[in-house]
Structure 1
Amino acid sequence: MNLEQFTREEGQLARRYEYDDATVMAVDFGTEATEASVDVVDDTVIIVIADDQYEIDLPETVERAHTFIKNGVLTVKLEDER
């Protein structure tokens, strides 16, 4: 997943954290994104905010991705890399 390219194009602030058992990514869409939704379809995280849709492709090595969005901040936790 290339968060740098995603944030450069769309202007969001993003961070990636590496832990022993997981990788966590956070993207701040701002306070106007409080009514956003997020879902994982196949190997893609899909975020819908008002009339805008964003997609983030997940690495092929990830078996599970957990996502949630709160106060405009998207969190993606990637686990069990193959």
Structure 2
Amino acid sequence: METPHELRTVDQRDGHVRTRRYDDGSVIVADFGADAGEISVDVVGDTAIVVAGDQQIEFELPEGADEISVNNGVLTIEE
């Protein structure tokens, strides 16, 4: 599973994005950082809409993504 281009901008805003590959799938983790404020995610069809403070990021879910969640400012996409 490839990290959506739009999520890579999180690295430029005091956050961190990492992709981990395992034998049975992969996980994308985007930590928006302490200054991001409250983070929410909505999924409409194949599009994820992440709102973090005053920024909004929309991206197409990577192929194979079957679970997306937010917890303590960290967005997780799993396959």
Give TM-score scaled by structure 2 length: 0.71
Q: How does 1:6-17 map to 2 (within 5 A)?
A: 6-7=7-8, 9-10=9-10, 11=12, 12-17=15-20
- Alignment gaps of 5+ in structure 1: none
| 1:32, distance to aligned residue in structure 2 (A) | 2.7
Cα distance between partner residues in 1 of 2:6 and 2:45:
21
Output the CA distance in 2 between the equivalents of 1:49 and 1:38. Answer: 9
Superposed CA offset, 1:46-77 (max 9, x none) = 11123321123223x42x52122122111111
Alignment-mate amino acid for residue 74 of structure 1: L
Q: Which residue identity does 1:41 align to in structure 2? A: V
Aligned to 1:76: 77
- 1:17-32 → structure 2 map (5 Å cutoff): 17-32=20-35
Deviation by residue 1:7-26 (Cα, 9 ceiling, x = unmatched)? 2x341311111122222100
What SS does structure 1 have at the residue aligned with 2:68? strand
Q: Using the alignment, how far apart are the partners of 1:6 and 1:48 within structure 2?
A: 12
- Structure with the higher fraction of residues in strand conformation: 1
* Number of positions where the alignment pairs a residue of Structure 1 with one of Structure 2: 75
The DSSP-based 3-state class of the residue aligned with 1:6 is helix
TM superposition shift of 1:5: 6.1
Letter in 2 for 1:77: E
Q: Is the 8 A contact 1:13 1:27 kept in 2?
A: yes
Structure 2 segments unaligned to the other structure (5+ residues):
none
The separation in 2 between residues aligned to 1:5 and 1:25, in whole angstroms, is 13
